[in-house]
């Protein structure tokens, strides 16, 4: 029983610490990159619409690779591009248009009935989608990027970890106190027998 309790205690400590480190990394990464967390050169973007369902669900996060030659894409590739008003959209390329020295892409969301109205200039493409999607985590990341979310997600795991540390110390002190009183009782019984 004691072995299971010790194992559970160690597991809780490790999980709380890992959550704290992960949240700290996500918050610092999103602030340092100007809004979107980055991992190994990939940016994590939150999907806010259902235009690419069922492959990419609303509220998912996707990993996109920024940079490189933005004229390299072909029909069927999924790109993230900037629309008017700094809105980012991730849609599939349906046609590549070579217009002299300018490359443009016709795009369409997989769940949309028609292609997007305006072709996308290669200069407006910011990244390529690589197929990595995690459903529903985008809601959490959007919350983490908010001011209140950043504060809560940095403070809450830290407070839980600190509270658990105090609980562990209290349990250890109680155990030491119980062992001390058992030793005193044993010494007193020895004195009585003598």
70 closest CA partner among 119, 126, 129: 126
Which entry of 30, 49, 51, 122 is annotated as an active-site residue? 49
Structure tokens at 51: 């235009």
How far is CA 33 from each of CA 20, 28, 38, 126, rounded to the nearest angstrom? 20, 9, 7, 14
Alpha helices in the chain (DSSP H): 2-32, 137-145, 147-193
86 closest CA partner among 34, 144, 131, 32: 34
Active site residue 9: no
Active-site residue numbers?
A: 49
């Amino acid at each position: 029983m004691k072995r299971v309790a010790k194992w559970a205690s160690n597991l809780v400590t490790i999980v709380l610490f890992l959550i704290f480190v992960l949240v700290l990394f996500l918050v610092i990464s999103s602030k340092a990159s100007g809004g979107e967390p980055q991992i190994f050169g990939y940016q994590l973007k939150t999907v806010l619409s259902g235009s690419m369902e069922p492959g990419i669900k609303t509220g998912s996060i996707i990993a996109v690779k920024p940079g490189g030659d933005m004229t390299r894409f072909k029909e069927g590739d999924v790109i993230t591009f900037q629309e008017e008003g700094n809105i980012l959209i991730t849609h599939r390329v349906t046609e590549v248009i070579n217009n002299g020295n300018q490359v443009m892409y016709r795009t369409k969301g997989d769940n949309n009935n028609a292609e997007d109205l305006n072709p996308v200039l290669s200069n407006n493409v910011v990244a390529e989608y690589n197929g990595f999607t995690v459903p529903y985590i985008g809601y959490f990341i959007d919350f983490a990027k908010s001011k209140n979310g950043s504060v809560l997600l940095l403070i809450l795991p830290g407070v839980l970890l600190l509270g658990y540390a105090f609980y562990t110390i209290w349990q250890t002190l109680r155990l030491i106190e119980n062992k001390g009183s058992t030793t005193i009782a044993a010494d007193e019984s020895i004195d009585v027998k003598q």
